[in-house]
Amino acid sequence: MLTSQHSALLNSTVFLNDPSLETRYRQTKIVFTIGPATSSDEVLKQLIEEQVDICRLNMAHGDHAWTRATVRQVKRVCQETGRHIAILMDIKGPEIRTGDVGDPLYLEQGELFEFLMERSAERISPDGVRGVDVNYPGLANDVAVADRVLVDSGLIHMEVVTKQPDRIRCRVLIPGVLGNRRHINLPGVRVGLPSLTDKDRADIEVGLEEGVDFYALSFVRDAAAIEDLRSLLGASQSKARIIAKIEDQQGIANLDAIIEASDGVMVARGDLGIECPYEELPIIQHQIIKACIRKSRPVIVATHMLESMIEAPVPTRAEVSDVAHAVLEKADAIMLSGETTTGKYPVECVRVFKRIARRIESVHDDEPTRELALPTPKGKMLRSAVYLANDIQNSGIVVFSRSGYLVRMLSSLRPKVPIYAFTDIPALFRHLLILWGVEPFQMTFSENPEDTLGNALDYLKRRNWVTEGQHLVVISNALASGQVIDTLQIRTVQ
């Protein structure tokens, strides 16, 4: 008996007068960030019915009471709509910020300015140089003379000219207005901050109590940061998945090891675009997406995808191209941030994502991923299944899983047909929601594999995912002479 499901596609706006795009299966998943603009039951229900897949909680802006209430609200609205989505907690992570300056300070080009390691320090030095305290006392130990210091999302550029244990002195290269508690980036500098702060640990504890499905770890510099979080989750016997956010040059340098250690990656283009030359960002995004597909890890492209739609009802042409580029590269998911937290048009943003994704997916090539290594006989069977399903008109792949491995491998092969993944584990059902091209369903498995398969096909037909006479490629187990063996079958929907 089926206990929950990811619902069928609803009608959407016709794009370029092509009616086939109205109901085309969408392979690229959508992550939205919940906030004031989407916190009502009415808007949240609209988003869920528009087929968002994952709800992101940004812990940089949320306290524990809000977190508990929001997780419970999302789960309740899912029950009411009959369509279930996953929840991702985005942990704030370590960061360096300036203290309060009172009235904003205008920093002129060529001016000297100091960052103070102690809050009690005088903000004007004996020789008249202004300064502000920072929240990281080890900053003076980490930077060197001639290092760049970028303040307020890179709007203000400085260069270190001298350093002392209690302060660093910089020269302003690009002027600007410095307000309170501005973020500091140090491109290429390895800082000694811990991977998890006390706030992060407290936030994770709330997530564990509320049953969060994914944790996105900010500013991941190496695989050790992932292992620290995994140990924390393991101590509570949590099966939640870890998404590594790549946001600086250290993360890029250790990319392969980070991908191996994580359960997925987010291309966090906000800080990444500050830490790296902006002309390198498209290349870095391309490399991360390809590396994740090659290593069979889901990848999310995030930040500034439809930024103008925070205020405007339609995207810019550049934004359409940016979203299309991520879909063309077959990223698993694309993400909305400010667009759905404080934006005026959150539901419209999701519809824009859907329109672009469906149109771009309609021109994808049909060749399965060649770079994915599948050396085992079972792996080769999966590749054969994709070739077979791609070659059969109006087909699909049906797979049963309790670990997620088969589903993840099939997704990484990027077939042109839907992957219908059935599991009897509620947590795994939600974990599968992030995977490209996968439509997961939770159902009770029978002791007889043939009965399980029959129930799955009946359900797909009943919910109009498939029609009578349609041929499906099925990866399943079968009993043969008392042994369970892996099988690749072609089944016709009756």
Tokens of 474: 């099925």
Catalytic residue chosen out of the listed positions 97, 123, 130, 171: 97
HSE value, Cβ hemisphere, 13 Å, CA-based, for 240: 31
Residue 244 CB partners (closer than 8 Å, separation 6+): 216, 217, 220, 225, 226, 251, 258, 259, 261, 262, 264, 265, 266
DSSP letters for 361-394: HTT---PPPSSS---SHHHHHHHHHHHHHHHSTT
What would the two tokens of residue 482 be? Answer: 């008392």
- Rounded to 5°, the CA angle 326-323-439 comes to 65
Instruction: Name the 3-class secondary structure at 346.
Output: helix
Catalytic residue among 28, 38, 70, 303: 303
Determine whether 245 is an active site residue. Answer: yes
Q: How far is CA 173 from CA 111, 112, 125, 346, in A?
A: 8, 10, 20, 38
With beta carbons less than 8 A apart as the criterion, state whether 284 and 266 touch.
Answer: no
Is 97 annotated in the active site? Answer: yes
Among 26, 167, 169, 245, the one annotated catalytic: 245
Spatial separation of the C-alpha atoms in residues 235 and 66, rounded to whole Å: 25
Picking from 188, 92, 110, 95, the residue whose alpha carbon sits closest to that of residue 156 is 110
- For residue 84, what are the contacts with CB-CB under 8 A and spacing of at least 6? 4, 5, 6, 78, 429, 430
- Give the containing element (helix H, strand E) for 113: strand 112-116
CB neighbour list of residue 447: distance below 8 Å, 6 or more residues apart: none
Reference 261, options 242, 234, 233, 247; nearest CA is 242
Rounded to whole angstroms, the Cα distance separating 346 from 405 reads: 34
Q: Which residues are the active-site residues? A: 56, 97, 245, 303
